[in-house]
Amino acid sequence: MARRRRGKGWLSRREYALKRRCEEWGVPYEKVSRAAVFRRNGWICQLCGNPVDRAIRFPKPLSASLDHIVPLSHGPGTPGHVAANCQLAHLGCNSSKGNRV
């Protein structure tokens, strides 16, 4: 059985689920590089202001996660999943924020 090559249109499982959520909520979607957002924020959690350790992996509360400044669930008229609406946050900080601005 031949393996499929990952082309330009290929989305990871995480990105595919995110794209479907954007379609469900009626907000724009663009492919965002998590690494670029994390570098842009200098590996500092934008919610608590503490540094994020790159070595800590999911599902630990201090691991890195991508947070939407304005949540996707706020529906049409919001920025959606675009680089300008994404920021770095600890997983614990992001979970406690929920779908608030």
Q: Give residue 11's pLDDT.
A: 79
- Is 38 within a domain? yes
- Is 3 within a domain? no
Q: Give residue 21's pLDDT.
A: 93
73-95, pLDDT tens digit by residue? 998 999 999 999 999 999 999 99
Residue 91 contacts residue 46 (beta carbons within 8 Å): no
Residue 56 exposure: Cα atoms within 13 Å on the Cβ side: 15
Domain total for the chain?
A: 1
13-66, pLDDT tens digit by residue? 989 999 999 999 999 999 999 999 999 999 999 999 999 999 999 999 999 999
| Residue type for position 51 | P
Question: Model pTM?
Answer: 0.85
- Is 24 within a domain? no
pLDDT beyond 90 at 9: no
| Residue type for position 36 | A
